[in-house]
Amino acid sequence: MPAALAKLPDGAWMSLPRISAAFAPRVKYAEPMSRHTSWHVGGPADAFFTPADRTDLIAFLEVLPPGTPLFWLGLGSNLLVRDGGIRGVVIDTTGLDRLEAVDATTIYADAGVPCARLARRCIGLELGPAEFFAGIPGTLGGALVMNAGAFGGETWPRVRAVDVCDARGRERRRDAREYSWSYRRLVPPVPGEYFLGAVLGFEKQPGLTEEAMRALIARRKETQPIGEWSCGSTFTNPKGDHAARLIEASGLKGHRIGDIMVSTKHANFLVNVHAATAADVEKLVAHIQTTVAQKFGVTLTPEFHVAGETR
């Protein structure tokens, strides 16, 4: 039996090689999450595990002591990790990268597949609508969690079934109809399950090329700070309006707290201009919410997820 994963005095979790040396090459300790988030902020994760594939992941979960805190990570977009870091184990899903055609109109993709890669594969197979995936700066797993979308499309209308597991590594397949979804929101049938992959359905859509997809992305680059350190869109759009319009009309374009700034290119993007902290991000988010609420009576809802502890 594996040894217990005891707590150290500083709150870090004891090294996982004491459970099984087989996983040691794929585990890092006190790993700065700023290296793994698109905002480039975030304190250390106690342990950071990158599985080689799904089999490796399930084997790892099976030997973890019950109750070990888990946090599942894709490409780190739409995510704010607080400055105190993440207790327990971060699961880096980018090693889950299987992507294959099931039949003429169906694709299977692992949770760690980047959405842009999924879009390119669908276009190569003349399947659509799928080009919107190219505008989602994350993995399919993250897109499933928040029903991500771009260019007028969103993830869950394409989902036919998902593969999930629980914290002990027990797997199952669920029909998409077991989930409730809406704009940037998903309600799972059972809490505590994690996405391993999904079966996605499309229609034959000949004529769309990678050049057309690149043109869509180029148009986005003209109006958004693509390539700068941001999490993507900061707030969801309120019904009948746009968060960017409300923020800009409140005079907040270019407003800065520490090294986090409202983009001068698109007001719904907050950009880390050098060495921002998560605390600075949360202060600026709160300031924007207060200012917009006072001016327009609208409470903006953050689109990004928050994880970890304050310092």
- pLDDT tens-digit readout, 50-99: 999 999 999 999 998 888 999 999 999 999 999 999 999 999 999 999 99
Confidence band, pLDDT 50/70/90 cuts, at residue 236: very high
Active-site hit among 31, 131, 282, 303 = 303
The alpha carbon torsion through 241, 247, 250, 256 (nearest 10 deg) reads: 180
Question: pLDDT exceeding 90 applies to what percent of the chain?
Answer: 82
Is 173 part of the annotated catalytic residue set? Answer: no
257: DSSP letter: E
Active-site hit among 26, 160, 174, 184 = 184
Q: What is the mean pLDDT of residues 277-282?
A: 98
Helix orientation angle between 115-124 and 210-223, rounded to the nearest 10 degrees: 150
Is 121 part of the annotated catalytic residue set? Answer: no
- Which residues contact residue 141 at a Cβ distance below 8 angstroms, ignoring those fewer than 6 apart? 72, 74, 93, 96, 111, 112, 195
Sign of dihedral through CA atoms 141, 304, 41, 136?
Answer: positive
- The answer to whether residue 209 scores a pLDDT higher than 90 is no
Is 303 part of the annotated catalytic residue set? Answer: yes
Q: What does CATH list as the number for 99-204? A: 3.30.465.10
**Domain spanning 16-95, CATH architecture:** 2-Layer Sandwich (3.30)
User: Is domain 226-307 annotated with CATH 3.90.78.10?
Assistant: yes
| Whether the predicted model's global pTM rises above the 0.85 cut | yes
Phi and psi at residue 35, to the nearest 5°? -80, -10
| Of residues 196, 228, 215, 241, the one with CA closest to residue 74 | 196
Q: Give the residue extent of every domain in the chain.
A: 16-95, 99-204, 226-307
97 C-beta neighbours (distance < 10 Å), count = 16
Name the token pair of 82.
């607080």
Return left, alpha or beta for 150; rule: phi > 0 is left, psi -120 to 50 is alpha, else beta. Answer: beta
pLDDT of residue 216: 76
3-state helix, strand, coil in the chain (%, to 5): 30, 30, 40
Confidence band, pLDDT 50/70/90 cuts, at residue 18: low
Active-site hit among 77, 230, 233, 250 = 233
